Amino acid sequence: MTARRAPSLKDKLTSSHFINKSHEKAAMWLPAPVKGMHKCGHCKCCKYMKKCNDFTHLQNKKVYKIDSFINCQTTAVIYVIECGCPLWYVGKTLRSIRKRVLEHISDINREVQKSSVASHFKNVHGGNTKNLKTFGIEQVSLGIRGGEIDKVLLKKELRWLYELNTL
């Protein structure tokens, strides 16, 4: 025979948003998760992806770690596009990074200058995309309370634009 305490009003009305430290320690035996930007290896976009675990600011040489696993199929990402000249473009996408980068490349190839990336590659590099490299710098996820992912992405994009002093 077992006995169990009946649920109280507190149990029914509240839930804890705090992480239990004992659960954190129990998962310590698992290997450390892989972080950084990686190629998926089987899409058209992989040749434009730059595999890296960190990146260095162009002007002040500060090194930034990529704290999540990002590949071509990752959604809700802040990304950087770099070219042969020392300029970076910071962007955001709710879709997979692959779809957004291929959209940029399509705009460059079709000479549609609706983005600053397409106009830069058309005017400076003559529409040549061979030096175009991209990498994700942050995957954005909502907390336990939810919210609007697009607003969170926009805030993070603006923070990275300011931090990296880019287009």
Residue of 94, 97, 66 lying closest to 160 (CA atoms): 66
Average pLDDT over residues 131-148: 91
Residue 20 has pLDDT above 70, yes or no: no
Mean pLDDT value across the chain: 87
CA 116 to chain centre: 20
Of the listed ranges 71-80, 87-96, 122-131, the least confidently predicted one is: 122-131
Tokens of 111: 């000479």
How far apart are alpha carbons 87 and 106 in whole angstroms?
Answer: 20
pLDDT bucket at 42, cuts 50 / 70 / 90: confident
- The residue that leads in pLDDT, 57 or 167, is 57
Residue 61 has pLDDT above 70, yes or no: yes
pLDDT value of position 17: 65
Average pLDDT over residues 32-47: 89
State the pTM of this model.
Answer: 0.81
Residue spans per domain, the chain: 36-164
pLDDT value of position 26: 54
Q: Are 40 and 71 in contact (CB under 8 A)?
A: yes
Alpha-carbon torsion (36, 41, 43, 44), positive or negative? positive
Portion of the chain with pLDDT greater than 70, in percent: 89
